[in-house]
Structure 1
Amino acid sequence: MADRGLFDMHCHIVPLVDDGAQSVKEAFAMLQMEYEQDVRKIIVTPHFRREMFETSPEIVKKHFLVLRRLAEKIGPDLKVFLGCEFHANVEMLEYLHADRVYSMAGSRYVLTEFSASTEEKYIRDRIYELLSSGYKPIVAHIERYKCMKDIELVEYLVNKGAYMQVNADSVIGKNGHGVKKYCGKLLEDELVQFIGSDCHGSKRRVTRIGDAYAYVSKKFGCQAADEIFIDNPQEILDNAKHCLSL
């Protein structure tokens, strides 16, 4: 275990708000699994996607507060923060400015999701809009997008200021050898800034953050693993504190 504990910055543990935890009991079990994986700080990211997941921010916050109390029961060192996995649309900025969706823990970071078949131009346009408005887009599970198999596109977006996230299961090979190889190439080229569990349940799509941390540490070194699983997510919380002080 890393001395400071690990982060999970992409997960669906808030109960009864999307296709993640379907009960308070399951949410508690998922938190316990995170703790057993050496996770000590969690940014929970309920889906927001028009015509699919449109739970109001008020209800999300209400259920999040229940989750926070559950975390306190597991251990005083387990901290949870509220974020959102925002499926990209052309009105993203309007939604963010109107507080219809949450950013990551109140920071300028936005976990941004696309569909698997999304074209390159659409991704570029949405990321450009967020960057131009002072947001820090984190592109969620980039291993899922066909156009992002082009490493040059990933490099381009990173050079423009976007951040890349892959899922823990993809890194350790749970989603197939080809996906594992792709994630390995990204890690080797230092194009991954975040790894999240994207866990959705206690029996399906479970968290394997600790397993992924151990793998990255062995394959790419402890410094690289600490940056991805601790330092970079901490930057989100530090940015949130800065935003509050403005």
Structure 2
Amino acid sequence: MGIFNNKIDITELYPKGFVDIHSHLLPGIDDGAKNIEDSLALIERLQKQGINNFRITPHVLGGVWENSSSVIKEKEADLRKVLKEKGFDNVNIHAAAEYMLDDHFSALLDNNDILPLKDKYILVEMSFFNPPFNLDDLLFQIQVKGYVPVLAHPERYNYYHNNMSQYEKLIEAGCLFQLNLLSLTEQYGKPTTKIAYELLKKGMYTFTGTDTHHKRHVHLMNEIATKKNKKLLTPLFENNIKTFSF
């Protein structure tokens, strides 16, 4: 009975003004929204859960999704136009990117062709198979360029699960951690959920995001709506608002 009493409505979870800094809502650009109709449907569902502000982050991955900054901004303009036409007046969007730490990213960084989440913050990710061999150098170069690396979903990198000191080293190297809210659900498996809670309780996350790709993700988000999670997540929600508000 206590478990059920702990549940809250998803609309009670997010504070007013919460900004989702990780999502794949731009149409037809990666493995997220397939078209503009899909984008609208996802935004409408997320809005009903209490999220109106989105810093959208399509994948930029060499050899797979080499989305240029100009293409991303074109897709953003298309979505912004349709949102206005459909009456989504209280929805704010800004397109950035989720950059894979690879050679393609290094070239973009060298050319100063980066779309930050806001100001100096850029969202980066690593391969799920192994970290880049030149990780330390990449993190150093990001900071030399004046950016702050926000590492997406560190809880999903299985090769760090048995060595928490690696997470500590990443933070010492200048990384800020972004929790995927979906990691607190069944989406990525129990080991990921376990590490997510461990990092959360240790206060190692700075920001959070949904990492929404499709409707199932939005539906799963209802699972995290508990009093316990709200207490744990509120500091991250507040950091998102303070740092990334429109």
- For residues 177-197 of structure 1, the C-alpha deviation after alignment (integer angstroms, 9 at most, x for no partner) is 221111110000001122222
1:74-153 matches, within 5 Å, as: 75-90=88-103, 92-96=105-109, 98-105=111-118, 107-119=119-131, 121-149=133-161, 150-153=163-166
Q: Is the 8 A contact 2:21 2:240 kept in 1?
A: no
- For residues 205-243 of structure 1, the C-alpha deviation after alignment (integer angstroms, 9 at most, x for no partner) is 44755654x34x52472xx523312423541458xxxxx
Distance, in Å, in 1 between the alignment partners of 2:187 and 2:31 is 20
1:99 deviation in Å? Answer: 4.8
Name the SS for the 1:193 alignment partner.
strand
Name the SS for the 2:165 alignment partner.
helix
What is aligned with 1:189?
202
List gaps (5 residues or longer) in structure 1: 239-246
Normalised by the length of structure 2, the TM-score is 0.82
What is aligned with 1:165?
178
Q: Is the 8 A contact 2:56 2:93 kept in 1?
A: yes
1:152 deviation in Å? Answer: 1.2
- Change over 3 Å in CA distance of 1:171–1:3 after alignment to 2: closer
Q: Is the 8 A contact 1:140 1:164 kept in 2?
A: yes
Q: Which amino acid counterpart does residue 119 of structure 1 have in structure 2?
A: P
Q: Is the 8 A contact 1:10 1:44 kept in 2?
A: yes
1:82 deviation in Å? Answer: 1.2
Aligned residues: 232
What is aligned with 1:29?
41
Distance, in Å, in 1 between the alignment partners of 2:223 and 2:213 is 17
Q: Is the 8 A contact 2:15 2:237 kept in 1?
A: no
Name the SS for the 1:111 alignment partner.
strand
Q: Which amino acid counterpart does residue 71 of structure 2 have in structure 1?
A: I
What is aligned with 2:81?
69
Distance, in Å, in 1 between the alignment partners of 2:208 and 2:184 is 8
Distance, in Å, in 2 between the alignment partners of 1:194 and 1:165 is 5
1:40 deviation in Å? Answer: 1.7
What is aligned with 1:235?
243
Name the SS for the 2:205 alignment partner.
coil
Name the SS for the 1:66 alignment partner.
helix
1:119 deviation in Å? Answer: 3.4
Q: Is the 8 A contact 2:102 2:132 kept in 1?
A: no
- Change over 3 Å in CA distance of 1:125–1:96 after alignment to 2: closer
Structure 2 counterpart of 1:218, from 228, 231, 236: 228
Q: Relative to structure 2, which stretch is displaced further, 29-38 or 153-162?
A: 153-162
What is aligned with 2:28?
16
| Aligned sequence identity (%) | 24
List gaps (5 residues or longer) in structure 2: 1-11
Q: How large is the RMSD of aligned CA atoms in angstroms?
A: 2.5
Normalised by the length of structure 1, the TM-score is 0.82
